[in-house]
A and B are shown apart, each in its own frame.
Chain A
């Protein structure tokens, strides 16, 4: 459903993405792994048009999305959950979720459907329902992450971009977040492009992965194969280390 060919992007003079090509099939979870500064977040930001693409092709479900404005990209079915959650702190949980459907609301109502989706989010994330009238800034990190995911889902995306969903969260909360990611795919059939510093956890939940190094893809493969790959183990997994959540 997503096809990228030879994407290049720059931060000022820094060539952050060099000829990156990748694809994602419907219903697939694909993860990008790599060290800090490898270009993972840059790639997500280029896809959602937060930073401009210098050159290359990006096609979502047969429609070109390279060079489009960010709101057009969202309306074509791509939503991003940004790194560090970025919820609107002073607004309530419910308001945050409603904002996720802002484009749908503006483009022709669907009020009934939007409020149904809101209820669906509350079913999916019961914790958010308990706190629906609370200001988002008062939530815990894990709850904020769920809210950020819920907000992205309110746009009814075909493809969800998740940027570092486990960042700064306690191990047990991380476990919850990965449960949510699994559930999204299994129950909702959402396609997900996942960037995660916790490479092992990401590879366990993903179908396939790409390894990025200094803006270039150096490896593509099934997640199970990448878990076994020595380069990946040495660089990103820490060979014998077990995370708390998988003990």
Chain B
């Protein structure tokens, strides 16, 4: 089992903490100088970067939330002038506007290297042929894995998402050895192969790197046995860097966080208090090396826990458990982040009033489905079927363009959706992850 960056990945804890402190202080000095949003937040709390003299002092600093990114849309959180930014990505926002993130040349290099680390840990080397079945475009997933593979020296096939039969054909003909996709898409591929009568064992596939959505150990066993590969999980989010925050080694006992680049904390999502090591809570990340888009205490909303015990692979970095859920109402559907509020906005725009609606998320085979049930009101009741159909089509089209994920829209009887006291339970998630 080789290690890409042993100097950093196997650094003794004491040295790592010294390096983290140095980089944290330098990063705070930079954001305080260059990013108005951070400067104002620090001033509100009456603190300056010099107040941070140890890693424990991190808890004195303000959190950064998705809302901050939205308020500073598009470039307000950048710490360098735009002319030094060589790449812009974005991710879905909670309400309409997406969030924008930027990378300098150096950031892209660092990013590639971080991805190369977890890809190496997963078993990829320069002899591999890596098929990337993530969507290219504004999402960070495909590009991150693409650069990581190139840095390792593997051969990259930038397939993009979808078109399963072509994926399988290329997998056979180009002798793909490593598959990069969402875990659910890996199952789709396995199912399609069965239908086509192709034995996965006859392929050259040996490893799968799956991310973008939460998945269970049961699903890992299913993918591993059906495709005959070693499947590993990796974690990242575009607000922080994209893939490359953490990834599993072959011990498959948690994802190693690249601690020289990110400081990880676990907090109580309700009180914001830092929790002791080992507790389950919300993951908060602080970037240590990023130039264009530094992050101070970003609330990921992902629920997990951190394990500081030594891993058998030799890496000394802390491991995070597979994410166990969210501390907000975000849904991950086919690897795309979806907020109920986005759907609400679309319905409001179409109808002009707040409808009663319910979201039903399910998994058919391995693919997620989203159904939106809307209660019929006077405004959207049509005598003619044709008008009714046109209305539904219109809603579906808009949902698709806003979310980037298709949904089925259905009308239901008035008052058939249960009204909950206080916060309406708008989401029914029937997937068993």
Interface residues of A (CB under 8 A from B): 3, 5-6, 18-19, 21-23, 210-211, 213, 216-221, 225, 228-231
Contacts and interface: CB of A to CB of B under 8 A. Distances in A.
Contacts of B84: 230
Given A221-B289, A231-B80, 12 more contacts: A18-B50, A19-B49, A19-B50, A19-B53, A217-B26, A218-B26, A218-B30, A219-B26, A220-B19, A220-B22, A228-B106, A229-B291
B362 to A, nearest CB: 47
Interface of B: 15, 18-19, 21-23, 25-26, 29-30, 33, 49-50, 52-53, 80, 84, 104-106, 109, 289, 291
Contacts of B15: 23
Contact of A217 (B29, B52, B104): B29
A230 B104 contact: yes
The secondary-structure label for the interface of chain A is: strand
Specify which of B22, B26, B50, B84 lies most central, judged by the most chain A CB atoms within 10 Å of its CB.
Answer: B26
Contacts of A225: 106, 109
Nearest to B23: A220
Contacts of B53: 5-6, 19
Contacts of A228: 105-106
Contacts of A230: 80, 84, 104
Contacts of A211: 26
A229 B106 contact: yes
A217 B25 contact: yes
5 tightest Cβ-Cβ pairs between the two chains A and B: A6-B53, A21-B22, A217-B26, A216-B29, A218-B29
A28 to B, nearest CB: 12
B423 to A, nearest CB: 44
A21 B21 contact: yes
A59 to B, nearest CB: 10
Contacts of A5: 18, 21, 53
A54 to B, nearest CB: 13
A11 to B, nearest CB: 17
Contacts of A21: 18, 21-22, 25
Contacts of A220: 19, 22-23, 26
A215 to B, nearest CB: 10
5 contacts: A5-B18, A19-B50, A21-B21, A218-B26, A219-B30
A5 B25 CA distance: 11
Nearest to A56: B53
Contact of B25 (A3, A19, A213): A19
